[in-house]
């Protein structure tokens, strides 16, 4: 019996490269789409290039898909015009493609930079107002709202993952609160893609860090129980100044 038919956008990016083999190992029938996507890594994996702002590219990528895991887009601070094209125009094309092809769900890679202007150490709930720390964070706020729109108007389920610091291991003191380890990333994304009946949901993408800033009670709907803890690496981190805002280096950056 075949697994879920999943399209992964941004498959050649940092997190896409982590997720591809893990999704396949879990049984996904995977289409990997992205500018820098290398050759297939397993029999049956479809690999596609192209620009997601092009409807023909989107139609190819979403053909037969049940779920889109949308990891594509700019992941660092850039001029607003570039962010709009890469993070918003492309996302809208993906949602319209999901309508055309009857895709049931979009898993949207949102970001902790939607709330990056809160003070470090302040405990947050998902109900707290957004406070983006730049153009990138602003695009993720808009992306979450787009997911809400397409769920309410067209019934496309959306799970927004406010991803923290998704890297192999913590490298600075801020990561003691924000780290999302790769094993937890895999579990979170898989559950966001496959747990039935989620409607519209936003959760924090974070591991079980002792010093976490974010209340992730809503993740219970996914059955997500992270196992990694940044505290295991605390003694190895460099002695460096702590960023005053939760968004770290993004917060003081000049958005112009």
95 included as an active-site residue: no
* Active-site residue, selected from the candidate residues 95, 118, 136, 224: 136
Q: What are the distances in angstroms from CA 242 to CA 43, 238, 248? A: 46, 11, 8
Helix orientation angle between 90-101 and 135-154, rounded to the nearest 10 degrees = 20
Q: Where in the sequence numbering do the catalytic residues fall?
A: 136
């Amino acid at each position: 019996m075949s697994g879920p038919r999943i399209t992964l956008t941004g498959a050649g990016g940092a997190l896409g490269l982590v997720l591809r083999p893990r999704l396949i190992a879990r049984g996904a029938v995977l289409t990997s789409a992205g500018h820098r996507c290398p050759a297939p890594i397993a029999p049956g994996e479809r690999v596609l290039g192209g620009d997601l702002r092009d409807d023909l590219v989107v139609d190819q990528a979403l053909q037969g898909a049940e779920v889109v895991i949308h990891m594509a887009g700019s992941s660092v601070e850039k001029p607003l015009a570039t962010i709009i094209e890469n993070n918003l125009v492309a996302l809208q094309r993906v949602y319209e493609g999901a309508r055309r092809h009857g895709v049931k769900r979009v898993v949207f890679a949102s970001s902790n930079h939607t709330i990056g202007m809160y003070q470090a150490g302040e405990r947050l709930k998902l109900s707290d107002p957004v406070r983006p720390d730049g153009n990138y964070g602003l695009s993720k706020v808009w992306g979450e709202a787009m997911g809400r729109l397409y769920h309410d108007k067209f019934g496309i389920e959306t799970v927004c993952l406010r991803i923290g610091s998704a890297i192999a291991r913590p490298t600075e003191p801020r990561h003691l609160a924000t780290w999302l380890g790769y094993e937890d990333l895999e579990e979170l994304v898989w559950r966001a893609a496959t747990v039935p009946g989620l409607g519209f949901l936003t959760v924090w993408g974070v591991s079980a860090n002792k010093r976490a800033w974010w209340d992730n009670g809503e993740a219970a709907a996914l059955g997500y129980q992270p196992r990694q803890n940044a505290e295991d690496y605390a003694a190895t981190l460099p002695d460096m100044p702590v960023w005053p805002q939760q968004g770290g280096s993004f917060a003081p950056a000049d958005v112009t």
